[in-house]
Each structure stands twice: as structure tokens, then as C-alpha cells.
């Protein structure tokens, strides 16, 4: 029997037939007006398919996807945790899904209250009480944060600062954000223990430094052992510390970035706070800041005046970073999630995420080279596939593709850039011990296969809907749009 | 008891800690400074699913929702019909619990739907390539300005029409805050486009951004504007309302180089403003300057058609500080909603939605214009949104509408101080004739008592 998922699925334009319709709309119930014919289009090339064609087409396509609801999705720094179903019930309540952003806010008090309370909760969790829910994603949170820092310096008449310090282990969004903000990026090396190199940081930090962008735990999955000293070095030169909150899942409820010395941070609600990743989005990236920086935040922000909630722009706001009020339904999900855990259980997220990661590391480190296995990792860890490459000619890409054959999503690969042949593994707290064991067993088996049958890995995946794709051709002769 | 979303039990954890070789979970957090470790956190108590649902419903009840109210409010967020196929398909686990399709072989579902979305957007806009989307219409517009500045070297000016959505203009300014780019054109909100171009268009202009239909609802024939912008060597960026493209010419036909827009109206919930969908499409020559994810068609090692993320050398994870943008997201689930929406409505249905909007809006405009004290400029071309000059402040009229479960139009005096008592009214296929008639009746009532009072004086 051919598995349906592995049968090629035509493109939507190749389905259906001329005149076929997927929806029936009511007849026009008002007198019609003459159309301005000189402005009207002659041609509209859209599919002609029936409802059943649509449902089967997209259902078949869905079966060509791996997803969190099928099993472990251990993409490092992505926090692919289970997405609780209550979240999806919440966002379908008409009082959230069917309200207009500009309707009189006296008729949207429930929505505003939720935004207000979520702001308070994120302020408490981060230890940074100024909160904007506007940013639509982590990268947009970064842009927001750096522009807030820029506004802070300029408001003090400090116009000479041009350098943003970014560790070499950082996400690509950090340097990209810095240049979007008009700044020069200065990379900072990591030391042998995987921390930011404090000696080098001291050398680089000066009166031209805008901020340090630090991810903690960093992308090696390690808690920055010198975080407080690093923050002090930066503060001593009058600069601020930006926290990339991509890895907040490791310390949520355990420690607060604000207490560690961070001045500004974003959090990815689609990571730590269970908003589903949606195939790449939508997410949300609220930004939290020190109290004195709140006046610069982009708005509007939910405020409480007496018994009434309202949306207001902070006094010296950097402006808007998007339209309306942030990714509202993502915010509803995060609110729902935090209320599910409450003060009693929040720290269990980090505790279990860290136990799960260390357990996987313990099971794998004898077989795979784990460059920082002398330390406890946090929510994720890195492996270096170089020994497989030198000994058997098998690279990390081959290993990742072979993982697919065992029915799992591969980890993040070739990132962070400072670890060659990197596999970056983040199991999250929502994996059971037995699911971690299955995953570890598969990786151990693959290590054996690398030795005995390297070709099996080179040709992987064997059971996926397609084999490896010709990416060179895709980039050299781009076909980005269907043409018949 | 551990929280219900965490599967492991105390016994599981004990076995795992033993394998790890530590005595307790605290041992795994020794590197976190003791002084910074929390002993308690000030949050509300945990709720069971049942309690939580009750609370969420109680909150939601305090919001007037569009299932129970007639909506004539648009201004960038529109109340359109969403066919049942859309929620059914986008809430499939395989789509909404997957991530960016890094591993193409087991992400073909997401990849092909994005490719189809890109193709549908190209057809609607008349462009050669569309990306896998931005956060919303505002940020897509800002990224288009950045593309223009990068594509036309040595130029540092962006001209925006004052009738570009006020929040898009604000977002554009924030995005370009740190770069040496001048944004001009909206310093005088009353100036028409021709006069703005006469004043600003020169050899320093990288791009001109126009919304069509504009924020005030007016539809413009922009062919000659496009020619003028091109003659000056600048890029012509059009922000379009996608539903209007079911009826009106594709911006590519009248000379747009980049087409952006808010894609919410294509099957996405109105949801208090987000998450929405930033449409971004351009001509072939600018593809490598685009921001965001792109999906391309290729073949696998056996020759089968397949799809993959492509042209990634533009992106932050490869190019870092030299990337075209810092964007990492694509609004894949919102793009999927648009894809299912356009497929379900199809060639005839999508056109029909646009026609219904057009006819109903024109019916409403004529009726309102016939009311004493109200005026609509019926000579202006428009799609489904128009300005009503009212005999009283919009907030007062909207309060009267609210008591009849009608959500009235947008108060334009918020952003255009010279437009006192001006209401921006949007009509869609969701407004049955009875709703429109009720709106007209209530508008008449809302001000008739006032006029009577006035005439008595």
C-alpha cells in the first residue's frame, strides 16, 4: 500500500476544472451600482475547485508535515513544547476572535484587562516591570529593544555611541537587528567554558558602546557564569544590557533577568509560553524593560485608570512597531498558559526542561562528542559531529536526515556557528522519559550505522515524502510562483 | 503533583537524575547565582482547565463581538466572511504545531502551501514573486521602503502619501529611525498626491508609497503617477487592500514595483488587530533584495517535484549583520488561511465577494448622503469604504449606534484634525441590506433630535 502522504500532491492550480466553485455567497440584496469599467481587471487567475477538493488537498498536504503533536521536535533554541489545547479553545471564543481593534474600548474591556494583566505577569516573571506587548516576534522585539536603548542614550544627550556588542554564539537576528538600527556590530568571543569572554569584553566595551546583546542561557545551552560581572562591565561604560529571551524556558520561575542585571529583554511567547509555531509564525515578542525605560516603549500599552482599562502611548515612545495592539491571539494564548501554571507550578517548566536536556546529554555524550559536557547544560545542549566526519565521512546533515527515518524531527544543525558540525538539541519539559529514550536510542543506532553503513546515511531520508532536494537548482533558477 | 502539561512523574525524574549523576534538580542550577534565585513569584494561582475556561469566557463576554453586532468599522481591519474550510484546515495539528520548514523532506506540507500562497499573491497583485509574508500591512510597508532605499543607491528619501494608513506611516518612521532616510510627504495632511510629488519627487527619491484604495477609501487611477515616479528613477510602492483586487486592476498592471498590503481580510480572524498577514510582492529584478522567507520549487534526487526554502543568502541566519532584514518569522499560519480562503472562494467566489462589497458600500453611501446633515462625496471613486461628513461629533453618533448594536465607523479626527465630524464607514459582504438600512435609520435618529433642538432656537 502506498502511504497517502508520500504520493505527490498536485498544486492547487492543477486541481479542479473550469467553472467549479468551492463556496456559495448570498445574492446581492441591494440595487447594484455601475462598475467603473476602465479600472476593472480583465483577468483573475484563481483556482476553480470544489469544497471537497480544497479539504482533501490541504489535508493531504498536512500529512506531509512532521509536527509537535506527533512527537519530539528537538530544534535547539526554538522550544518546540507541547501546545495545550485550551489555548486554541480560548482563541476561538467570539469575544476574542471577533472583536475590532478600533471599536470603542469601553466595549472591549475584557480584552484590555487581559492585556493589562499579561503585561503585569511578564513584568513579574522577567523582573523588568515596563512591558510592551506590541512586537510581533522575537526579532521585532530585538529591534524594539535596541531602539528603546537608542532613545535612552539620545535622551541623555549621549550621541556618540555606535557599537553593539554581540557574542559569536548569538542568533543571527542580533547582528541583523543592530545594523537595522543603524549600529555597527562588534563580535565578542566565547571562552573555553562556553561563557562570554570577560577579558575580551572588558577590552571592547567603551564609551561608544550602545549595548551588549546577551542570550542567557546562551545558544550552547549554558548559563553565563559571569553574567553579573558582564553586566557590570557594560554598565560601567554607560551602556545597557539587552537580553535575548529566546532561551527563557531554561530559567523561567527560577531566576529573573532583571535581577541578574539585564536592562531590556524580549521573550518569545511562541517558545517559553506555548504559543504554537504555526509553521513559522505567527508568534509574539513582548519587550520588558527597567522601570525608567518604560517611557520609551512602543505602544499603545494597556493601562488601568480607576476601574477602567485604556490603551495609551508612553510619554517618550519610540513610536509604533506595528499596527493595532500586537498579535492579540498569541497574547491570549500566553495569558491562558501562564494562568494554567500559576505561581505554584511555573518553575516546574524550567526544572523539567533542564532535567530532560541533561538526561539526553547523559545518554548521548559517550557516543557523540559533547564539547561542554563538563558542565550541566540548561534547556538545550550542543554536540559536535566532527569525529563522524573525519572517521566515517558522515556529516551532521547526514545524521539529521537519518533521524527523519526514525520518525523524529532533527535538531537544529550547524548552529551556533562556533561549534563545527553542530547538533543543537532542545527536548523541552513536555517530553516524557520514554520518548527521550526512544530518541536517544535512535541517535545511538545512527552512530553505529555511521560506522557500518555510511551510505545509508548519505542517502537518507528513505521514508519521507521526498528525498533530499536540489537546493542549488532552487537558488540558481528560482521558481517562486506557479505558472502553467 | 507536577503540572498537567508535564508528563514525567517524581519516579521518572528520580531515574533521570540518577542517570545524569546528580542528587537533585537544584544541582543542575548551581551556576545560577544563589542571590538571584527566586523563592517565590507574585503571580495568580494555578487554574484547572475548567476554572480557566470560565474565566476566559467571563472576560470575553465583556467585549462586544461582531457575531452580535453589525460592523461598519474598517480602517485597516475588515469584517469579511470566513468559509468553514479555513478554521478547519488551519487548526490541523500538522500545520499549526510545526515550525519553519528547516527540514524540507518532512515539511513539504508547509512548503507547498507557502508556494501556493506565493503564487496566489502573485496572481492577485500582478507581481513576479511574493515572499512567505511579514507580520502585517504596516511592517510589510516599512520593509518595502527599506528595499527601495537599498535598490536605488545614493538616494535617501521616501515619499509617503498622507492617505497611507496613519499606523503604517508611524511604523515606517520607527523602522527607519536608525537609518539616514528622510520620510516626507505627509507633513501637510490635506495635500493631494500630485502636489506632493511636485514638491518632493527628485533625484534623491528612492521610493513613493501610495495606498490604493487609500486610507479614506478613495480609489485612484495611478498609471500616470507610476510613470512619473519611474521617470524620476524611484520605485513605486502600492499598499493594496487584497479584497479590492477581486474587482480592480492588479497594481502590477498600472506600474507598481512593490505591492504590499494587509492580508487579514483573506480568511484571517479580525481578533482585535492580530495576528495578521503582511503581504509583500515584487518584480523579478528585486527578488534578491527582498526580506523574509521564500519557498522555491525544485526536484529531489529521484526527480520528483519538491519545495524548499530558497535564496537564504539574503537572510539573518546566514548573512547576520549584512542581511536584508532581521525578520525570522513568516506568518505561515495566516498565509495558510489566505491560501485556503482564496482556494475555497476561487475565481468566481472571490470576485463575487469584491462585487458585494462594492455594491453594498455604494448603496449605503447613497442612502447616507440622502440624509439631512450627512454628506458623502459620491463623485469620488471608491471600493467599500467612504468618508461621511456628519452633523455631530463621530463619538456621539457612534454612541447612539452602539445602543442599537451597531459598531459605527472610524473617527477620522483622531488622525486628520482638519476632518472634524468625519466618519470612515466600511461595508462588506457581511452587511445584509437590513443592517445597512438600520444603520441609515439610526444615523438619522441620532442627529434629528439635535437638529430639532437647534431649529427651535
Interchain CB distance below 8 Å, B37 and A254: yes
A420 and A333 assigned to the same domain = no
For the stretch B55-66, pLDDT in tens is: 999 999 999 999
Outline which parts of chain B fall under CATH 3.90.1150.10. 349-447
Confidence class for position B314, pLDDT limits 50, 70, 90: confident
Residue B453 has pLDDT above 60, yes or no: no
Interchain CB distance below 8 Å, B311 and A147: no
CA nearest to B434 within chain A: A29
A212 and A257 assigned to the same domain = yes
A451 belongs to a structural domain? yes
pLDDT for residue B265: 98
A202 and A311 assigned to the same domain = yes
In our burial notation (b when 16+ CB lie closer than 10 A, e otherwise), range A265-303 reads: bbbbbbbbbbbbbbbbbbbbbbbbbbeebbbbbbbbbbb
A398 and A327 assigned to the same domain = no
Separation of alpha carbons A179 and A169, rounded Å? 17
In the numeric block, the cell 521558481 is attached to A479
A63 belongs to a structural domain? no
A425 belongs to a structural domain? yes
Q: What's the distance, CA A90 to chain centroid?
A: 21
Outline which parts of chain B fall under CATH 3.40.640.10. 85-341
Identify whether the C-beta of residue A152 lies closer than 8 Å to the C-beta of residue B69: no
What is the residue-wise DSSP string for B132-200?
S-BSSHHHHHHHHHHHHHHHSTT--EEEE-TTS-HHHHHHHHHHHTTSS-EEES-SSTT--HHHHHHHH
A480 belongs to a structural domain? no
pTM: 0.97
For the stretch A387-417, pLDDT in tens is: 999 999 999 999 999 999 999 999 999 999 9
Q: Is A319 in CB contact (< 8 Å) with chain B?
A: yes
Separation of alpha carbons B341 and B360, rounded Å? 21
A240 and A360 assigned to the same domain = no
Q: Tell me which chain A residues have a C-beta less than 8 angstroms from the C-beta of B348.
A: 19, 21, 48
Q: Helices in A237-327 by DSSP H: which ranges?
A: 257-260
- CATH code (residue A204): 3.40.640.10
Would you call B385 helix, strand, or coil by DSSP? strand
CA nearest to A280 within chain B: B100
Please, what sign has the CA dihedral across residues A59, A65, A66, A67?
Answer: negative
Strand bridging mode B129-130 / B278-282: antiparallel
**CATH of the structural domain B85-341, one choice from 3.30.2350.10, 3.40.640.10, 3.30.360.10, 3.40.50.300:** 3.40.640.10
Separation of alpha carbons B109 and A8, rounded Å? 11
CATH class of the region B349-447: alpha beta
Would you call B106 helix, strand, or coil by DSSP? helix
A31 belongs to a structural domain? no
- C-alpha angle A176/A177/A183, rounded to 5°? 95
Which region among A451-460, B4-13, B180-189, B443-452 has the lowest average model confidence (pLDDT)? B443-452
Question: What is the number of other CB atoms lying within 10 angstroms of the CB of residue A313?
Answer: 14
DSSP letter (8 states) at residue B128: S
A121 and A156 assigned to the same domain = yes
Identify whether the C-beta of residue B209 lies closer than 8 Å to the C-beta of residue B140: no
Q: Looking at the complex, report in whole angstroms how far the Cα of residue B457 sits from the nearest Cα belonging to chain A.
A: 32
For the stretch B7-33, pLDDT in tens is: 999 999 999 999 999 999 999 999 999
Separation of alpha carbons B351 and B121, rounded Å? 15
A32 belongs to a structural domain? no
Of B337, B355, B348, B197, give the one whose Cα is nearest residue B263: B337
For the stretch A98-157, pLDDT in tens is: 999 999 999 999 999 999 999 999 999 999 999 999 999 999 999 999 999 999 999 999
A351 and A331 assigned to the same domain = no
A324 and A365 assigned to the same domain = no
A323 and A437 assigned to the same domain = no
A182 belongs to a structural domain? yes
CA nearest to B213 within chain A: A39
Interchain CB distance below 8 Å, B326 and A54: no
Interchain CB distance below 8 Å, A279 and B332: yes
For the stretch B157-187, pLDDT in tens is: 999 999 999 999 999 999 998 888 999 999 9
Separation of first and last alpha carbons in chain A: 31
Chains A and B form CB pairs within 8 A to the count of 681
Per the rule left: phi > 0, alpha: psi between -120 and 50, beta: everything else, A414 is left
Q: Tell me which chain B residues have a C-beta less than 8 angstroms from the C-beta of A108.
A: 62-64, 272
Among candidate residues A312, A341, A370, the one where a domain is terminated: A341
Question: What is the number of other CB atoms lying within 10 angstroms of the CB of residue B60?
Answer: 21
Among candidate residues A293, A324, A341, the one where a domain is terminated: A341
| Residue of B274, B320, B346 with shortest CB distance to A46 | B346
Interchain CB distance below 8 Å, B106 and A65: yes
CA nearest to A81 within chain B: B97
- Domain hosting residue A379, numbered range: 347-458
| Residue of B171, B295, B345 with shortest CB distance to A320 | B171
A118 and A167 assigned to the same domain = yes
- C-alpha angle A149/A151/A156, rounded to 5°? 100
Interchain CB distance below 8 Å, B106 and A341: no
Residue A1 has pLDDT above 70, yes or no: no
A224 and A306 assigned to the same domain = yes
Separation of alpha carbons B342 and B121, rounded Å? 10
Separation of alpha carbons A259 and A253, rounded Å? 12
A208 and A283 assigned to the same domain = yes
A79 belongs to a structural domain? no
**Domains: count for chain A:** 2
Amino acid at each position: 500500500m502506498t502511504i497517502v502522504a508520500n504520493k505527490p500532491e498536485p498544486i492547487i492550480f492543477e486541481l479542479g476544472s473550469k467553472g467549479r466553485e468551492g463556496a456559495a455567497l448570498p445574492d446581492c440584496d441591494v440595487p447594484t451600482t455601475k462598475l467603473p469599467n476602465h479600472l476593472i481587471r480583465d483577468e483573475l487567475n484563481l483556482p476553480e475547485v470544489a469544497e471537497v477538493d480544497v479539504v482533501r488537498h490541504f489535508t493531504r498536504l498536512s500529512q506531509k508535515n512532521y509536527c509537535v503533536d506527533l512527537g519530539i521536535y528537538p530544534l535547539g533554541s526554538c522550544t518546540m513544547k507541547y501546545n495545550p489545547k485550551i489555548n486554541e479553545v480560548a482563541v476561538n471564543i467570539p469575544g476574542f476572535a471577533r472583536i475590532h481593534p478600533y471599536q470603542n474600548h469601553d466595549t472591549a474591556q475584557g480584552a484590555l484587562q487581559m492585556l493589562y494583566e499579561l503585561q503585569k505577569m511578564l513584568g513579574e516573571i522577567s523582573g523588568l516591570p515596563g512591558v510592551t506587548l506590541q512586537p510581533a516576534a522575537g526579532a521585532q522585539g530585538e529591534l524594539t529593544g535596541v531602539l528603546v536603548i537608542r532613545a535612552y542614550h539620545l535622551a541623555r544627550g549621549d550621541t556618540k555611541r555606535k557599537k553593539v556588542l554581540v557574542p559569536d554564539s548569538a542568533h543571527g537576528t542580533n547582528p541583523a537587528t543592530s545594523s537595522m538600527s543603524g549600529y555597527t556590530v562588534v563580535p565578542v568571543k566565547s571562552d573555553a567554558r562556553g561563557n562570554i569572554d570577560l577579558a575580551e569584553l572588558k577590552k571592547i566595551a567603551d564609551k561608544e558602546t550602545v549595548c551588549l546583546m546577551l542570550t542567557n542561557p546562551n545558544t550552547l545551552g549554558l548559563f553565563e557564569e559571569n553574567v553579573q560581572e558582564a553586566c557590570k562591565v557594560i554598565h560601567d561604560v554607560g551602556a545597557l544590557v539587552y537580553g535575548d529571551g529566546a532561551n527563557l524556558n531554561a530559567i523561567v520561575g527560577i531566576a529573573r533577568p532583571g535581577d541578574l542585571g539585564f536592562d531590556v529583554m524580549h521573550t518569545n511567547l511562541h517558545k517559553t509560553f506555548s504559543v504554537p509555531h504555526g509553521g513559522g509564525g505567527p508568534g509574539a515578542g513582548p519587550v520588558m524593560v527597567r522601570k525608567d525605560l518604560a517611557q520609551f516603549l512602543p505602544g499603545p500599552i494597556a493601562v488601568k485608570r480607576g476601574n477602567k482599562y485604556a490603551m495609551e502611548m508612553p510619554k517618550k515612545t519610540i513610536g509604533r512597531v506595528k499596527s493595532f495592539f500586537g498579535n492579540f491571539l498569541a497574547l491570549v494564548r500566553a495569558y491562558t498558559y501562564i494562568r494554567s501554571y500559576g505561581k505554584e507550578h511555573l518553575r516546574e517548566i524550567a526544572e523539567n526542561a533542564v532535567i530532560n536536556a541533561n538526561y539526553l546529554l547523559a545518554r548521548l555524550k559517550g557516543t557523540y562528542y559533547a564539547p561542554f559536557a563538563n558542565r550541566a547544560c540548561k534547556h538545550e545542549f550542543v554536540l559536535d559531529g566532527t569525529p563522524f566526519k573525519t572517521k566515517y565521512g558522515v556529516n551532521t546533515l547526514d545524521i539529521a536526515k537519518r533521524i527523519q527515518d526514525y520518525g523524529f524531527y532533527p535538531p537544529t544543525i550547524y548552529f551556533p556557528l562556533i561549534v563545527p558540525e553542530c547538533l543543537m538539541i532542545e527536548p523541552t519539559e513536555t517530553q516524557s522519559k520514554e520518548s527521550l529514550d526512544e530518541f536517544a536510542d535512535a541517535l545511538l543506532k545512527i552512530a553505529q550505522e555511521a560506522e557500518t553503513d555510511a551510505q545509508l546515511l548519505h542517502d537518507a531520508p528513505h521514508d519521507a515524502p521526498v528525498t533530499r532536494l536540489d537546493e542549488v537548482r532552487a537558488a540558481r533558477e528560482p521558481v517562486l510562483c506557479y505558472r502553467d | 503533583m507536577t503540572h498537567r502539561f508535564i508528563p514525567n512523574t517524581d519516579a521518572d525524574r528520580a531515574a533521570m537524575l540518577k542517570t545524569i549523576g546528580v542528587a537533585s534538580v537544584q544541582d543542575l542550577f548551581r551556576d545560577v547565582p544563589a542571590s538571584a534565585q527566586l523563592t517565590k513569584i507574585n503571580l495568580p494561582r494555578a487554574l484547572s482547565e475548567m476554572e480557566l475556561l470560565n474565566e476566559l469566557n467571563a472576560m470575553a463576554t465583556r467585549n462586544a463581538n461582531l457575531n452580535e453586532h453589525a460592523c461598519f468599522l474598517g480602517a485597516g481591519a475588515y469584517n469579511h466572511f470566513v468559509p468553514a474550510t479555513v478554521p478547519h484546515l488551519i487548526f490541523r495539528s500538522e500545520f499549526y504545531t510545526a515550525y519553519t520548514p528547516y527540514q524540507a523532506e518532512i515539511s513539504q506540507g508547509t512548503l507547498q502551501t507557502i508556494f501556493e500562497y506565493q503564487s496566489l499573491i502573485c496572481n492577485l497583485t500582478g507581481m513576479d514573486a511574493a515572499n512567505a509574508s511579514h507580520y502585517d500591512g504596516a511592517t510589510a510597508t516599512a520593509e518595502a521602503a527599506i528595499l527601495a532605499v537599498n535598490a536605488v543607491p545614493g538616494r535617501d528619501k521616501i515619499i509617503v502619501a498622507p492617505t497611507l494608513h496613519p499606523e503604517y506611516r508611524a511604523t515606517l518612521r520607527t523602522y527607519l529611525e536608525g537609518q539616514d532616510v528622510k520620510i516626507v510627504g505627509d507633513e501637510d495632511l490635506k495635500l493631494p498626491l500630485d502636489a506632493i510629488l511636485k514638491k518632493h519627487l527628485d533625484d534623491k527619491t528612492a521610493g513613493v508609497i501610495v495606498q490604493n484604495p487609500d486610507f479614506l477609501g478613495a480609489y485612484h487611477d495611478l498609471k500616470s503617477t507610476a510613470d512619473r515616479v519611474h521617470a524620476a528613477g524611484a520605485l513605486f510602492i502600492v499598499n493594496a487592500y487584497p479584497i479590492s483586487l477581486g474587482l480592480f486592476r492588479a497594481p502590477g498592471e498600472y506600474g507598481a514595483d512593490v505591492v504590499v498590503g494587509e492580508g487579514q481580510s483573506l480568511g484571517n480572524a479580525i481578533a482585535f488587530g492580530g495576528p495578521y498577514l503582511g503581504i509583500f510582492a515584487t518584480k523579478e529584478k528585486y527578488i534578491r533584495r527582498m526580506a523574509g522567507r521564500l519557498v522555491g520549487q525544485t526536484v529531489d534526487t529521484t526527480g520528483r517535484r519538491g519545495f524548499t526554502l530558497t535564496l537564504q543568502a539574503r537572510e539573518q541566519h546566514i548573512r547576520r549583520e549584512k542581511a536584508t532584514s532581521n525578520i525570522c518569522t513568516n506568518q505561515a499560519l495566516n498565509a495558510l488561511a489566505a491560501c485556503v480562503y482564496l482556494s475555497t472562494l476561487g475565481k468566481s467566489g472571490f470576485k463575487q465577494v469584491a462585487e458585494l462589497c462594492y455594491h453594498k458600500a455604494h448603496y449605503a453611501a447613497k442612502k447616507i448622503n440622502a440624509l439631512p446633515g450627512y454628506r458623502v462625496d459620491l463623485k469620488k471613486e471608491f471600493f467599500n469604504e467612504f468618508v461621511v461628513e456628519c452633523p455631530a461629533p463621530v463619538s456621539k453618533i457612534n454612541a447612539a449606534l452602539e445602543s442599537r448594536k451597531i459598531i459605527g465607523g472610524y473617527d477620522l479626527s483622531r488622525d486628520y484634525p482638519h476632518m472634524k465630524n468625519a466618519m470612515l464607514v466600511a461595508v462588506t459582504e457581511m452587511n445584509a441590506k437590513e443592517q445597512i438600512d438600520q444603520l441609515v435609520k439610526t444615523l438619522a435618529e441620532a442627529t434629528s433630535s439635535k437638529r430639532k433642538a437647534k431649529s427651535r432656537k
